[in-house]
Amino acid sequence: MTSLSPFPRRTRPIVAALIAAFALWARAWNIWAEPMWLDEAYSAYAASKGWDFLWAVVPRYETHPPFYYSLLRGWTLIVGDGLVGHRLLGVVAGMATLPLLGLAGVRLARIVGANPAVVALATMAIAAVSPVLVWMSRETRPYALMILVYAGACLALIAIAERRGWGEPLAGRPFAGWLASGTLMLWLHNLGPLYAAAMGLALLCVVDVRTMRRADWLWFVGGHLLAIALWLPALFILLDQAPEWVRATWLKYSSADIARRATYMFTGGRDDFRVAAAILALCGGALLWRARRRGLLAALLILALLPVTVSVLISATIAPVFIIRTMTALAMPAMLLMGLGIGWSWQRWGWLVPAAALVWLVVAQAQADIRARAILKRDWYRTMEWLAPRFRPGDVVFAYPNEGALPFDRAARDYGLAMPSRPIPTAVPSLSPPPGSWYVSGSRGVPSLDRAHLRAIAEEPATRAVPTIWLLRLGPWAYDKGDVFLEELSKGRRDVGRFKDGAIEIVGVKRSDSSPARGGLVWPTARRGAPADAASAR
């Protein structure tokens, strides 16, 4: 048993409430102030379309299955499709992760003889303040749901380990939950197979195949075959998209600082976080080893380490697929080991080591969360501030590549601004671009055009009639090398302003023969960082 005295029963709800309150604040505060970035805008764009678009068009250009976008569409039909409405799905998933981890911590503590309340609260506290989990919960992407599902998988795995330890059959609610979690992971992301493979190996570590009966094997094989059958449509999407991704993606793999990048999802970016987390995880692993639950220890390590290891290997040898945010669900088994570590004791004062590591990790990460709330990233609202006073009736924003129109249009909508955009060559996806076009990013929806076609667009009568063209460029080094489109649009026009904020770049070119237009857009009363739907959010 742990030498830490258990929390009195009356204090446990108070501690749990404080943990939940901070978790909610970190995940929800100011989500209305930061505009959608490009990938979030992709999610919102797909979810705004009909079901036919989601299941017939999205699989033709999007590298992920349409399942998450369908969930997001159903969600926004209920809560609204504003900025806050989109992000609330991630917040809800992030908050729901905490009790799942707490329940898994209780079961894990019982297995090794540690104090369940202490382990559960420690695990929830670590998850509540984790900068990575907070980050994922605040974005309109599938990662918060992947984290939630993987937490459910960990809970199911530990429950299966308990049942097998008692000599009970494999079939039951934990095994059904395990299969459901695996199927959802397969459908939530195209790297789902890495997670599913890790889950399959982890399950073999805890079921003890030497004691498997015929019925157990039938359930094991039949259940996994059913999960694979349900995944087949997503597999066909993956096989269709993979060649383009391997051939054309602009991502490049680098082994520089790979150890830090490959452990970022467990702790965040600071080395002191890594040291504290490693101490706790080692103590948790030692508890499982001492309790002779080495199969369960191996299972948790496989769940935490195998997908990131394989993704790094694939990135180094085939195509770059290792992206930190796609691996954030791996923090779930790692945090369970960290939380379990608080139960470690060695001689009289040995418990001080994991206790100090836990306090440092929780306090330091909470401070990092507080500082992060004051920082706005990918500030499309600053772009609106710069462009709105300069934009005149008849002006048009030309977005090249076409995906730039997605976050631009969302930011303009948030502020209630009427600034029409024209994606070049078409709105996402451009599945049939002109001959001579090529795909730069690995997505079939975003082409780069040759000079002849860019010149033809610039010389169209509709283009020439625009008083001022505001060329929005994302990554001109990839899509418009040599400033070809800018050069063609600038013929007969003069430069009237430039804006750059990170990857966002806008260049205004005005017709030389045009006279200044009167009037303009009325800047809304909403303050900077408070888009139009913020009033209802508050």
What digits encode the pLDDT tens for the residues 83-116? Answer: 999 999 999 999 999 999 999 999 999 999 999 9
Checking DSSP bridges between strand 468-474 and strand 438-439, what pairing results, if any?
unpaired
Strand partners, 501: 504
Q: Which residues contact 520 (CB under 8 A, 6 or more apart)?
A: 389, 391, 392, 393
Task: List the 493-501 sheet strands across, edge first.
Answer: 421-423, 396-399, 468-474, 504-511, 493-501
Print burial letters for 303-326: b (CB count within 10 Å at least 16), e (below 16). bbbbbbebbbebbeeebbbbeebb
Please name which of 192, 227, 187, 186 lies closest in space to residue 68, comparing C-alpha atoms: 187
Evaluate if residue 526 carries a pLDDT over 70.
Answer: no
**What is the predicted pLDDT for the residue at 376?**
66
**What is the predicted pLDDT for the residue at 517?**
42
Tokens matching residue 252: 């490049």
**What is the predicted pLDDT for the residue at 4?**
47
Checking DSSP bridges between strand 493-501 and strand 504-511, what pairing results, if any?
antiparallel
Query: Which DSSP string do the residues of 384-418 spell out, in sequence order?
Result: HHHHTTT--TT-EEEESSGGGHHHHHHHHHHTT--
Beta-carbon neighbour count of residue 227 at 10 Å?
21
Q: Return the CA Rg of the chain.
A: 26
For residues 269 and 41, which has the higher predicted lDDT (pLDDT)? 41
CA 49 to chain CA centroid, Å, is 21
Provide the residue ranges of all domains of the chain, joining segments of one domain with +. Answer: 9-30+63-372, 380-537
Q: For residue 471, what is the enclosing H or E element? A: strand 468-474
What digits encode the pLDDT tens for the residues 170-225? Answer: 999 999 999 999 999 999 999 999 999 999 999 999 998 888 999 999 999 999 99
What digits encode the pLDDT tens for the residues 296-325? Answer: 999 999 999 999 999 999 999 988 889 999
What digits encode the pLDDT tens for the residues 336-357? Answer: 999 999 998 776 777 889 999 9
Evaluate if residue 520 carries a pLDDT over 60.
Answer: no
Tokens matching residue 41: 């805008």
What digits encode the pLDDT tens for the residues 392-432? Answer: 999 999 999 999 999 999 999 999 999 999 999 999 999 98
Please name which of 307, 265, 278 lies closest in space to residue 134, comparing C-alpha atoms: 265
* d(C-alpha 343, C-alpha 341), whole Å: 5
